[in-house]
Chains A and B, each alone.
Chain A
């Protein structure tokens, strides 16, 4: 997966989490250790700075999809399958407040559409 990696460690040195003492996913290309695969906040610094252009973020997501996700991600997916949003948005509950605030109402997509989009393969 990291065949073209020069092991130059510039990604590691520029990871703000590692600079703060938080062990992050960026240990992966250097040590092939996926223990902290979910410790990343998607700031893209590592990928932008990689001198050989390794798509670190895409590789991270591919690996994440092979292991069990932290529970919050499961909850997000469940919400999406119900209402289209990763948070439990109930338009009947929300819209009176939106109208009061001067915002247009939200209309949710049907769960069939979401299921078709997410479960196609």
Chain B
């Protein structure tokens, strides 16, 4: 039997990008996949890896809470996906890690058996490609560039999804939904957003290089599938880029429009973005 799903939004999407959470939820609903939010979830632990050695217990706490409700997990950011899958892999490979985790989780009344399944939104959509293609209502006339969420694909041995060096899934999902997907040289490179916490100039440099190339290629829209990529390329764009503004949209927002949902349904509130997707 298919388990119920938790849509794990994590810190950044919960705080800043409700449109990503909502559009994911409604697109999944259109595919007959119901998702829920759970009480008392916390940060996935990604940001603490270089700061606090006990980050792993936060990751495991989330996993255990979701396992306790017998629910599987759909993540939205690369970082959350990466930490969840890596901790699960560590537990599978070394029972001592699982024992150690359970000693700590027992103190907060939880136990983890490592039976929960974690998938990023792209993996779930990928499994439902045929259903999505059958639902397509229109081809959106946009020159679109893809921003791959790198931590969904690497490390390859743990993430075990798609081509880890040259991910294909976003192109596969969006190819039939838009008129043009524009390939570009930085397509397989990290967005650089995490650098904004430690080396802002480097984050800006990475963002600027991508935008310069995409402006040169006359791209209308960048499609993202991670809160961090979206933050640097969309939220912070005006802080470091003085060229033509290139907006970003989350993949389920654009896919939602292609399967016939309205801009309101997928929370496209920005008038410019709305005009881009409704000029069909």
Interface set of A (CB-CB < 8 Å, partner B): 16-17, 20, 22, 38-45, 47-48, 57, 60-61, 64-65, 69-70, 72-74, 76-77, 80, 84-89, 94, 97-98, 101-110, 113-114, 116-121
Q: How many A-B residue contacts, CB cutoff 8 Å?
A: 173
A17 to B202, CA, bound (A): 8
A85 touches B11 (CB 8 A): yes
**In whole angstroms, how far apart are the Cα atoms of A13 and B36 in the complex?**
43
Report the separation of the CA atoms of residues A80 and B206 in the bound assembly, to the nearest whole angstrom. 28
B50 adjacent to chain A (CB < 8 Å): yes
Residue B18 is within 8 A (CB to CB) of chain A in the complex: yes
Q: With A43-B150, A113-B40 in contact, is A103–B198 under 8 Å at CB?
A: no
Q: Given the known A-B contacts A20-B205, A20-B209, A39-B202, are A120 and B54 also in contact in the complex, defined by CB atoms under 8 Å?
A: yes
Identify the 5 closest CB pairs spanning chains A and B, nearest first. A64-B50, A107-B39, A44-B154, A84-B42, A43-B190
Asked whether any CB of chain A lies closer than 8 Å to the CB of B98, the reply is: no
A121 touches B40 (CB 8 A): no
In the complex, chain A residues whose CB is within 8 Å of the CB of B206: 16-17, 20, 22, 41
- Which residue of B is nearest A47, CB measured? B155
The CA of A30 and the CA of B47, in the complex, are separated in Å by 26
Residues of chain B lying within 8 A (CB to CB) of residue A88: 15
Chain B positions near chain A (C-beta within 8 angstroms): 10-12, 14-16, 18, 21-22, 25, 36-37, 39-43, 46-55, 57-58, 61, 79, 82, 104, 107-108, 150-151, 154-156, 164-165, 186, 189-199, 202-203, 205-206, 209, 267
Of chain B, the residue at the smallest CB distance from A42 is: B194
Establish whether residues B193 and A41, one from each chain, have CB atoms under 8 Å apart when the complex forms: yes
- The residue in chain B whose Cβ has the minimal distance to the Cβ of A63 is B50
Contacting pair A120 B57 (CB below 8 A): yes
Distance in Å: Cβ of A4 to nearest Cβ of chain B: 17
- The answer to whether residues A84 and B50 also contact, given A101-B267, A103-B21, A116-B104 and a CB cut-off of 8 A, is no
What residues of chain B lie closer than 8 Å to A98, measured between beta carbons?
A: 18
A77 partner, pick from B46, B51, B156, beta carbons under 8 A: B51
Question: Among the listed A48, A69, A101, which residue makes an inter-chain contact with B22, where contact means beta carbons less than 8 Å apart?
Answer: A101
Are A80 and B42 touching (Cβ within 8 A)?
Answer: yes
Q: How far is the CA of A98 from the CA of B39 in the complex (A)?
A: 14
Output the nearest chain A residue to B265 by Cβ-Cβ distance: A102
Q: How far is the CA of A120 from the CA of B206 in the complex (A)?
A: 38
Q: A73-B197, A73-B198, A94-B15 are known; give 17 further A-B pairs, CB within 8 A.
A: A16-B206, A20-B205, A20-B206, A22-B199, A22-B202, A22-B205, A39-B199, A41-B195, A41-B203, A42-B82, A42-B194, A57-B155, A65-B53, A80-B58, A86-B43, A102-B22, A120-B104
